[in-house]
Homo-oligomer: A and B are copies of this chain.
């Protein structure tokens, strides 16, 4: 029922379609050529962890094919999504010298993809960017869809731009060395995509729950990831700038952003917070639509994501207030994504405080 594709297409308007190519990073030069980028200078942005493993083979592959790569390595972790680190990139890249056809290659997880993607969006008012995701969350979410940006003292991702990649080069073997906690956190977004838009993918995950949670079965992973990426690609294609349907990708995220903020960023991983947020959204969905939602099945899968911290220790009033200041709100209405049924979601702003409180209690129960 679920196959192993070598490529997933992201169809955008005005002929700006791009592909997610499932292949080795060694094939990067050939793919750059396929998408019409002419050899010359290119910038590779990576972090210390990913760079230690892949900087050297990527540089060699590029140089052998006639590229002149300039590799920039940033510190790992969310703190690199800062105005200061962005300025370091600007200075380095502009002093080295680029023109409007010089591609920026983002080699790493979500942080590198967002930071390098944003630099590419804004250098010379936009240069090509090639996303090479190396974390699960980047493979199925952050490297796709063109959202780029950095954090601000007042909140995450508050400064950014939409800038679609020319191509995504997805080497699934880069996931082999991912720490377990990063893997299971990434699984939260995979499950999210299944729950909001792909009931068959949900069945697949449910059936292979233990194996996909450990990430050990290469054959399963190579089926699951392109399928999860396809959900994101299709939703983004319909709504590139997040005015409509794309909002359903925020399933679980209203609670999640609040949890991350209240607990202090880095306490819960994004995926752990999203898993809790999805349990809350699931509760609210089932409350409105008892017959249509297989609440116990979905909750069972969501609870398979291990939590390192106990969310019930967070103060509900703090979480409630933090939800109020989410940047996705329109005016004063807090927006939530709920399920109509498994595989179909919608956005609503109409939820009582009492219901939110009940959902929180449900979601923070072990």
Contact = CB atoms under 8 A, between A and B. Distances in A.
Nearest to A325: B97
Contacts of A160: 122, 124-125
B125 A331 contact: no
Nearest to A86: B83
A309 interface: no
A159 B95 contact: no
Interface string A151-175: 0111101111110000000000000
A101 B159 contact: no
A94 B14 contact: no
A149 interface: yes
Contacts of A83: 83, 87, 90
B161 A94 contact: no
A309 to B, nearest CB: 28
A104 to B, nearest CB: 13
Given A155-B94, A161-B161, A124 B327 contact: yes
Work out how many copies of this chain go into the complex: 2
A156 to B, nearest CB: 11
A101 B333 CA distance: 13
B331 A161 contact: no
A331 B40 contact: yes
A91 B153 contact: yes
Nearest to A328: B100
A238 to B, nearest CB: 14
Contact of A124 (B40, B94, B158): B158
A100 B162 CA distance: 14
Contacts of A147: 125
Nearest to A146: B125
Given A100-B327, A101-B331, A123 B159 contact: yes
A126 interface: yes
* Chain A interface size, under 10 / 10 to 19 / 20 to 34 / 35 or more: 35 or more
Nearest to A125: B160
A158 B95 contact: no
Interface in A69-114: 83, 87, 90-91, 94-95, 97, 99-101
Given A40-B331, A99-B327, A162 B126 contact: yes
Interface string A122-151: 111110000000000000000000010100
A159 B331 contact: no
Contacts of A126: 161-162, 241
Given A327-B100, A331-B101, A154 B95 contact: yes
B90 A161 contact: no
Interface of A: 13-14, 40, 83, 87, 90-91, 94-95, 97, 99-101, 121-126, 147, 149, 152-155, 157-162, 241-242, 325, 327-331
- A-B interface, 9 closest residue pairs, ranked by CB to CB distance from nearest: A125-B160, A94-B154, A122-B159, A124-B327, A94-B152, A94-B158, A122-B161, A125-B161, A161-B161
